[in-house]
Structure 1
Amino acid sequence: MSETVKNVFVSHHHKDDASVDNLAKMLSGKNVQLRNSSIRAKPENQARLDKKMVSDKTIERLLRMKMRWAGQVIVIIGKETHARAWVNWEIKVAHQLGKPIIGVYEHGLKEKVELPENLKKYATAVVGWKPDSVIDALAGHSQFQNPDGTPSLKNSGGNIVC
């Protein structure tokens, strides 16, 4: 069986960096390779970002470039993701760029958590931490699940996958 390669941008709260790595590992076990263009700041660079030593315009330009390269955007959904302004901004820009947007609940979440506002509006899929669900969403199958993988209702909005 040959490996499927997906060019993605993974939007996430920087505290959830390990989940980005774990998602790639989980899918590689199913012959799916993620090539991720998202920004993962080293501690010294994160300190510069926290001190606002890099302008928001510069960050926005860099993020747009990285999202344009990607075929899809994955949003790692953790307990604090809904409160992250940059994640919400990235989702809005991904929608403006016409990218399919897939929310993936972080591994280990048992109960529903608040979703970022723009994910509620523009998600093409929101799935639990299960390889088959993520692979189906990456293949363009629109599905909405709770963190445990059980079906959930879609509230509104959404991209059209052609």
Structure 2
Amino acid sequence: MPYLYDYRLFISHAWKYGDNYKRLTQLLDDANYFSYINYSAPKEKPLFPAGTPKTSSQIRDLISNKIRPSQITIVISGMYAAYSDWMQYEIDESIRMGKPILGIYPWGQVNAPSYVTNNADEMVRWNTDSIVSAIRRLV
């Protein structure tokens, strides 16, 4: 089998809506001829141990360190993204670092927060081929 290129992804998401994150990573895991390294911070692997106090500045630095080695930021753009300061920071930091942003409309929805749609290089529906093709195009 030929060597697959490992795309370096940062997936912006809200822990409160972790099912969507798990659905997306499973979709990417199951995609044919697609390989990736996940630089995200899922609930199971947080930026810092639970109970460790961090300042907003320290959290920003930790997030930036996750985004820096990635090639693209993927935003699971449920309406909750409109209310998450950290997700907005991830978008802003990705733009500052020159990373393309891929927004994914929530499953079965036609709307996404304007902050995501206005800053995404591309928006796609919840579909394996659409997501993988967009990653390849943007990277």
Q: What TM-score bracket applies, with the shorter chain setting the length? A: 0.7 to 0.9
Alignment of 1:7-18 (within 5 A): 7-18=8-19
Q: Which residue of 2 aligns with 1:158?
A: none
Alignment of 1:24-39 (within 5 A): 24-29=25-30, 30-39=32-41
Q: Is the 1:105–1:127 contact (alpha carbons within 8 Å) kept by the matching residues of 2?
A: yes
Residue 123 of structure 1 is aligned with which of 107, 120, 123?
Answer: 120
Return the letter of the residue paired with 2:119. Answer: Y
Return the letter of the residue paired with 1:69. Answer: P
Unpaired runs of at least 5, structure 2: none
Q: Which residue of 1 aligns with 2:93?
A: 93
Return the letter of the residue paired with 1:92. Answer: D
- CA–CA distance in structure 1, aligned partners of residues 44 and 22 of structure 2: 15
Q: What's the RMSD between the two structures over aligned residues?
A: 2.5
Find the residue that maps to 1:140 and give its secondary structure. helix
Q: Is the 2:6–2:36 contact (alpha carbons within 8 Å) kept by the matching residues of 1?
A: yes
Identify which of structures 1 and 2 has the higher relative contact order when contacts are C-alpha pairs closer than 8 Å and 6+ apart: 2
Deviations 1:29-67 (A, max 9, x none): 223223111122359968648xxx311101000111110
- CA–CA distance in structure 2, aligned partners of residues 19 and 83 of structure 1: 17
Q: Which residue of 2 aligns with 1:20?
A: 21
Q: Which residue of 1 aligns with 2:109?
A: 111
2:135 is equivalent to residue 138 of structure 1: yes
Query: C-alpha displacement at 1:83, in angstroms?
Result: 1.2
24 and 114 in structure 1: CA distance in 2 versus 1, 3 angstrom threshold: closer
Q: Is the 1:4–1:32 contact (alpha carbons within 8 Å) kept by the matching residues of 2?
A: yes
- CA–CA distance in structure 1, aligned partners of residues 117 and 36 of structure 2: 24
16 and 33 in structure 1: CA distance in 2 versus 1, 3 angstrom threshold: farther
Alignment of 1:44-59 (within 5 A): 48=51, 53-59=53-59
Sequence identity percentage: 25
Deviations 1:137-162 (A, max 9, x none): 10125xxxxxxxxxxxxxxxxxxx7x
TM-score, normalisation: structure 1? 0.72
Q: Is the 1:10–1:74 contact (alpha carbons within 8 Å) kept by the matching residues of 2?
A: yes
Q: Which residue of 2 aligns with 1:145?
A: none
